[in-house]
């Protein structure tokens, strides 16, 4: 079928060229070589135009770690695989793993832009300034950055509201803890992590007002050795329920070894601690990545920040351990889950007190997204400090 159409198009081009050239040459014999040359030129142009309309969109993802971490990068990779399956040859995906949050990342972003990728995605907070610098030099390329807050005409940000699933984990953990002490392995003290610590604490204290959450920082997103040490320290301080905002499975594995409970983060980590596992706070990045491809394909992309949550099914607390979590806790979590998803409940609605007991958010008020994006204080019940 395609061959027949091609032959027909070729003959049509020859006839058109012959008629047009014939007008110039009058009744003289039209040189066949001239007709052939013009036909070849027109055919090439038509073919190039057709290829341009069907060429796949190049989309590149820059990873801080590698998909084997079972955490942050793994979760993003699951989202990327999902859009590869959905869009097939309509997109061409490039991945660059183990890129440090340093000036070296600028080289990676620039190289990907020079190679003609239409969309370039930086998946870690520390890439922001380096990616933004490159974006200014490639105004026709769409740059997206995860968890950031800056903006340029061709540079947008996206995130998921992980604090929502952290709150639900706090509800489950607050019911499950026998000591009333819960532990949080903190990665890097940026607003994203502070939000999650606060939300987890408020969730726990919503069902146990005397609960406290101890925090140990490792100042790294991925360091299994330090994560294990931090988990052991928290257990030594009396914590019998752990959660982390780090990228490995070390906290879950340590909880399994020490016979306490823990939550998975970013992906389902049950297999790394089947007895310890209470549930996992999972992010579904394919929800946004599908939206991103659709918006670019349709020419509707804008640089407006995107921050999706349970309402958009971009995250959840999944696979709750029904053997370890009481029916009362399961019911309470299910109710809060529905209230958050439907908008009846806002995690950061007042009254909220800080560690000193001072009211930070009054009753009837809620922290705005802008305030959440620069959150730098702990709520009442957090036993820890923010590194200077």
DSSP per residue, 19-74: HHHHHHHTTSPPPHHHHHHHHHHHHHHHHHHHHHHHPPEEEEEE-SS-GGGSSHHH
Does 271 lie in the same domain as 301?
Answer: no
Instruction: Report the pLDDT value the prediction gives residue 153, as an integer from 0 to 100.
Output: 98
Query: pLDDT band for position 68 (50/70/90)?
Result: confident
356 burial via Cβ count (<10 Å: 0-12, 13-18, 19+): exposed
Helix ranges, the chain (H): 2-25, 32-54, 72-87, 104-114, 128-135, 162-176, 191-207, 224-236, 250-258, 286-298, 327-342, 369-372
Mean pLDDT along residues 161-165: 98
Do the bridges between strand 212-217 and strand 181-186 make them parallel or antiparallel, or are there none, so unpaired? parallel
Position 333 pLDDT exceeds 90 = yes
Residue % of the chain over a pLDDT of 90: 85
Q: Are 146 and 124 in contact (CB under 8 A)?
A: yes
Dihedral (CA of 337, 343, 347, 350) sign? negative
CATH of the domain at 101: 3.40.50.2300
Q: Are 172 and 333 in contact (CB under 8 A)?
A: yes
Tens-place pLDDT, residues 232-281: 999 999 999 999 999 999 999 999 999 999 999 999 999 999 999 999 99
Q: How far apart are CA 165 and CA 194, in angstroms?
A: 14
Query: pLDDT band for position 9 (50/70/90)?
Result: very low
Does 276 lie in the same domain as 179?
Answer: yes
Contacts of 263 (CB under 8 A, 6+ apart): 169, 172, 173, 241, 242, 243, 252, 277, 278, 279, 280, 281, 317
Position 188 pLDDT exceeds 50 = yes
Does 64 lie in the same domain as 208?
Answer: no
Quote the number of domains for the chain: 3
Helix (H, G, I), strand (E, B) or coil at 146: strand
Does 270 lie in the same domain as 373?
Answer: yes
Q: Which domain holds residue 291?
A: 57-161+286-311
Does 103 lie in the same domain as 72?
Answer: yes
Instruction: Report the pLDDT value the prediction gives residue 388, as an integer from 0 to 100.
Output: 80
Does 205 lie in the same domain as 151?
Answer: no
Tens-place pLDDT, residues 284-328: 999 999 999 999 999 999 999 999 999 999 999 999 999 999 999
Tokens in use for 27?
Answer: 């009744």
Tens-place pLDDT, residues 20-48: 444 444 434 444 444 444 444 444 444 43
Residue 388 lies in a domain: no
Question: What is the reported pTM?
Answer: 0.85
Mean pLDDT, the chain, integer: 89
Query: pLDDT band for position 53 (50/70/90)?
Result: low
Residue 50 lies in a domain: no
Q: Are 193 and 162 in contact (CB under 8 A)?
A: no
Position 11 pLDDT exceeds 70 = no
Residue 126 lies in a domain: yes
| Angle (nearest 5°) at CA 131 between 96 and 165 | 75
Does 192 lie in the same domain as 113?
Answer: no
Position 69 pLDDT exceeds 90 = no
Instruction: Report the pLDDT value the prediction gives residue 13, as an integer from 0 to 100.
Output: 40
Q: Look at residues 61, 87, 90, 58 and name the one whose alpha carbon lies nearest to residue 75.
A: 61
The helix or strand, by DSSP H or E, that contains position 217, with its residue range, turns out to be: strand 212-217
Does 351 lie in the same domain as 242?
Answer: yes
Does 96 lie in the same domain as 124?
Answer: yes
Residue 51 lies in a domain: no
Q: Are 194 and 351 in contact (CB under 8 A)?
A: no
Does 154 lie in the same domain as 276?
Answer: no
Domain termination site, one of 271, 295, 311: 311
DSSP symbol at 197: H
More confident residue, 88 or 17: 88
Tens-place pLDDT, residues 74-116: 999 999 999 999 999 999 999 999 999 999 999 999 999 999 9
Does 20 lie in the same domain as 110?
Answer: no
Partners of 183 in beta bridges = 214, 242
Mean pLDDT along residues 166-190: 98
Does 346 lie in the same domain as 325?
Answer: yes
Residue with tokens 């968890």: 147
Residue 255 lies in a domain: yes
Residue 215 lies in a domain: yes
Residue 49 lies in a domain: no
Residue 370 lies in a domain: yes
Tokens in use for 161?
Answer: 């509201």
């Amino acid at each position: 079928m395609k061959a027949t159409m091609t032959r027909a198009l070729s003959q049509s081009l020859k006839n058109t060229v012959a008629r047009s050239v014939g007008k110039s040459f009058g009744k003289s014999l039209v040189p066949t070589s001239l007709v052939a040359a013009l036909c070849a030129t027109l055919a090439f142009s038509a073919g190039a135009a057709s290829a341009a309309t069907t060429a796949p969109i190049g989309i590149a993802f820059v990873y801080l770690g590698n998909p084997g971490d079972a955490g942050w990068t793994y979760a993003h990779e699951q989202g990327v695989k999902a859009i590869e399956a959905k869009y097939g040859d309509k997109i061409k995906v490039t991945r660059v793993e183990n890129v440090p949050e340093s000036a070296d990342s600028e080289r990676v972003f620039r190289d990907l832009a020079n190679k003609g990728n239409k969309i370039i995605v930086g998946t870690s907070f520390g890439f922001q300034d380096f990616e933004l610098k490159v974006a200014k030099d490639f105004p026709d390329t769409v740059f997206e950055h995860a968890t950031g807050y800056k903006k340029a005409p061709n540079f947008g940000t996206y995130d998921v509201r992980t604090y929502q699933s952290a709150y639900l984990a706090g509800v489950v953990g607050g019911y499950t803890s026998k000591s009333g002490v819960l532990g949080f392995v903190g990665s890097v003290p940026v607003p994203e992590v502070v939000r999650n610590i606060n939300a987890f604490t408020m969730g726990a204290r919503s069902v146990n007002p005397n609960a406290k959450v101890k925090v140990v920082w490792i100042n790294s997103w991925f360091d299994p050795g330090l994560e294990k040490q931090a988990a052991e320290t928290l257990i030594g301080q009396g914590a019998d329920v752990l959660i982390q905002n780090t990228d490995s499975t070390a906290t879950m594995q340590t909880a399994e070894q020490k016979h306490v409970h823990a939550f998975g983060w970013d992906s389902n980590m049950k297999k790394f601690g089947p007895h310890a596992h209470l549930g996992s706070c999972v992010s579904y990045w394919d929800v946004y990545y599908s939206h991103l491809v659709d918006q670019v394909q349709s020419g509707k992309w804008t640089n407006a920040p995107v921050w999706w949550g349970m309402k958009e099914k971009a995250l959840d607390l999944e696979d709750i351990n029904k053997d370890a979590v009481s029916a009362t806790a399961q019911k309470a979590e299910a109710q809060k889950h529905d209230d958050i998803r439907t908008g009846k409940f806002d995690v950061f609605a007042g009254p909220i007190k800080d560690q000193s007991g001072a009211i930070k958010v009054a009753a009837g008020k809620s922290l705005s997204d802008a305030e959440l994006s620069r959150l730098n204080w702990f709520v009442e019940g957090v036993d820890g400090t923010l590194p200077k």
